[in-house]
Amino acid sequence: MSEQSAPVKHYDLIIIGTGSGNSIPGPEFDDKSIAIIEKGAFGGTCLNVGCIPTKMYVYAADVAKEIHEASRYGIDASLNGVDWPSIVDRVFADRIDPIAQGGEAYRRGPETPNIDVYDMHAQFVGHKTISTGIAGQEQIISGTDIVIATGSRPVVPQVIADSGVRFYTNENIMRLAQQPKSMVIVGGGYIAMEFAHVFQSLGTQVTILNRSEQLLRGADADISARLLELSQKKFDVRLNTTVAAAKNNEDGSVSISTNTGEEITPDVLLVATGRVPNGDQMNLAASGIEMDGTKVKVDEFGRSNVEGVWALGDVSSPFQLKHVANAEMRAVRHNLLHPENLQPMPHSFVPSAVFTNPQIAQVGLTEAQAIEAGHNITVKIQNYSDVAYGWAMEDKDGFVKLIADKESGQILGAHIIGAQASTLIQQLITIMAFGIDTREAATKQFWIHPALPEVVENALLGLEF
């Protein structure tokens, strides 16, 4: 059946993507006809190939690393082996896959009778009109409201994509049948650093090829420098290095030629060079929906330029973070229900964390950004080794860095590298989000002694005004 002659089925609401978008329909939408389109696994990137499974691997790697380093606590321990297939099963067969399958079954089942699920690719063919389908049977649908929440996908350098070489991304590296003995990771961002920690701690020899002189280029300079220092002790880190050519070998390994003239032959090549929004894959122009560079263009309320078309998450957001996508989803859900009282997208004091080892967490401005913005700043770096719990951990590498405005007493940025950084940062997010004066934050509450948060307390006390 051609697109021109296919009957159009109309819905009150169409949601494209089942990451954060799948959380929109609740009891408030029971009186609306809804179509959900998902060509992949329910749950989106975070559940299936991102945040959640990667952290399950990270935790296993953290345990392995503690065993390797047990001698510094006077403990004679050894890692006797890693059962990689068991780790894969723990993550996917026991946890992730049943959740994804259950989510889809719920949306297809009697619990949500007002929702139809389509499993074919969504492509606009006219004004607020989409071509999709179920099990190979095409269907044209239209919507009064449409929410685009299709996320992002890995970027693959053209030289690798065109080479025919066997490579992996975050979307399939965790389902390897066997753990590789050696791996080359192309990239130096958060995905690269998390997988470097996972595979190296579990016994894989890791080489990192990074095109610049910095790892985590968006991080504060002191954090990035410490990460590089520590990474060079664990991995084979090659800076200012790119892939010039790559090919498959008969033994299953790959050969990589770099711009520096070096040849590397790892078992596995992992590409972790960033992510690109999926807005370009849906023929948005057919509905007149505008793009802003690679993202779907939206206003402060999540509205595109076409009335009734909204976007949220990686496909449109300035932040490629699940907690931001969830918050944007809540704003869009409110705006769908209350068009007379629109809520802006929540983009203030957005934190992020990198679950490498040691962990890294940040919120607000870097020191360089604060200076560039014209703030009169005070800066304090507090080492984990300065507090009692840091002594207990024998931590000589971790630190908290705070940047505050001298006039207002407000924290402008907080940056942590060290154990449990993603947890320690939370109290600093609270201080920033609620506008608490930094000069009172440390003194008007108790800090449990000798717990690790004392490093944050001391950092606050160390700011000079």
**Region 8-154+277-337: CATH code:** 3.50.50.60
Note the pLDDT tens digit of each residue in 421-464: 999 999 999 999 999 999 999 999 999 999 999 999 999 999 99
Q: ω before 358 within 30° of 0 (cis)?
A: yes
Element (H, E) at 276: strand 275-277
Q: Quick one: 73 exposed, middle or buried, by C-beta within 10 A (0-12, 13-18, 19+)?
A: exposed
Q: At what angle do helices 190-201 and 51-68 cross, to 10 degrees?
A: 40
Q: What is the DSSP letter of 17?
A: -
Note the pLDDT tens digit of each residue in 34-84: 999 999 999 999 999 999 999 999 999 999 999 999 999 999 999 999 999
How far is 13 from 336, CA to CA, in rounded Å?
Answer: 9
The predicted structure's pLDDT at residue 6: 67
How confident is the prediction for the chain on average, in pLDDT? 97
pLDDT band of 5, cuts 50, 70, 90: low
The predicted structure's pLDDT at residue 241: 98
Amino acid at site 109: G
Q: For 19, phi and psi rounded to 5 degrees? A: -75, -115
The per-residue b/e assignment along 93-105, b for 16 or more CB within 10 angstroms, e otherwise, is: eeebbeebeebbe
Note the pLDDT tens digit of each residue in 134-161: 999 999 999 999 999 999 999 999 999 9
Sequence-distant (≥ 6) Cβ neighbours of residue 69 within 8 angstroms: none
Contact 136, 304 (CB under 8 A): no
Count CB-CB contacts under 10 A for residue 233: 8
In terms of DSSP H, where are the helices of 386-453? 388-393, 421-433, 438-441
The predicted structure's pLDDT at residue 110: 97
Note the pLDDT tens digit of each residue in 288-344: 999 999 999 999 999 999 999 999 999 999 999 999 999 999 999 999 999 999 999
Name the token pair of 297: 């263009």
Note the pLDDT tens digit of each residue in 95-108: 999 999 999 999 99
Contact 263, 244 (CB under 8 A): no
**Region 158-273: CATH code:** 3.50.50.60
Going from the C-alpha of 59 to that of each of 70, 202, 355, the distances in angstroms are 16, 11, 9
Note the pLDDT tens digit of each residue in 215-271: 999 999 999 999 999 999 999 999 999 999 999 999 999 999 999 999 999 999 999
pLDDT band of 1, cuts 50, 70, 90: very low
How far is 356 from 337, CA to CA, in rounded Å?
Answer: 40
The predicted structure's pLDDT at residue 398: 98
Q: Where are the domains of the chain?
A: 8-154+277-337, 158-273, 358-462
Q: pTM for this one?
A: 0.96
In terms of DSSP H, where are the helices of 189-296? 190-201, 221-234
The predicted structure's pLDDT at residue 387: 98
pLDDT at 375 over 90: yes
The predicted structure's pLDDT at residue 443: 96
The predicted structure's pLDDT at residue 3: 46
Q: ω before 25 within 30° of 0 (cis)?
A: no
Active-site residue flag, 449: yes
User: 316, 306, 66: which is closest to 197 by C-alpha?
Assistant: 66
Active-site residue, selected from the candidate residues 68, 127, 338, 449: 449
Q: For 3, phi and psi rounded to 5 degrees? A: -60, -35
Count CB-CB contacts under 10 A for residue 242: 17
Same topology between domain 8-154+277-337 and domain 158-273: yes
How far is 462 from 355, CA to CA, in rounded Å?
Answer: 27
The predicted structure's pLDDT at residue 204: 98
The predicted structure's pLDDT at residue 197: 98
The predicted structure's pLDDT at residue 2: 45
Element (H, E) at 401: strand 399-405
How far is 205 from 296, CA to CA, in rounded Å?
Answer: 40
Residue with token string 């078309």: 309
Average pLDDT over residues 343-353: 98
Name the token pair of 452: 């690790």
**Region 358-462: CATH code:** 3.30.390.30
pLDDT at 384 over 50: yes
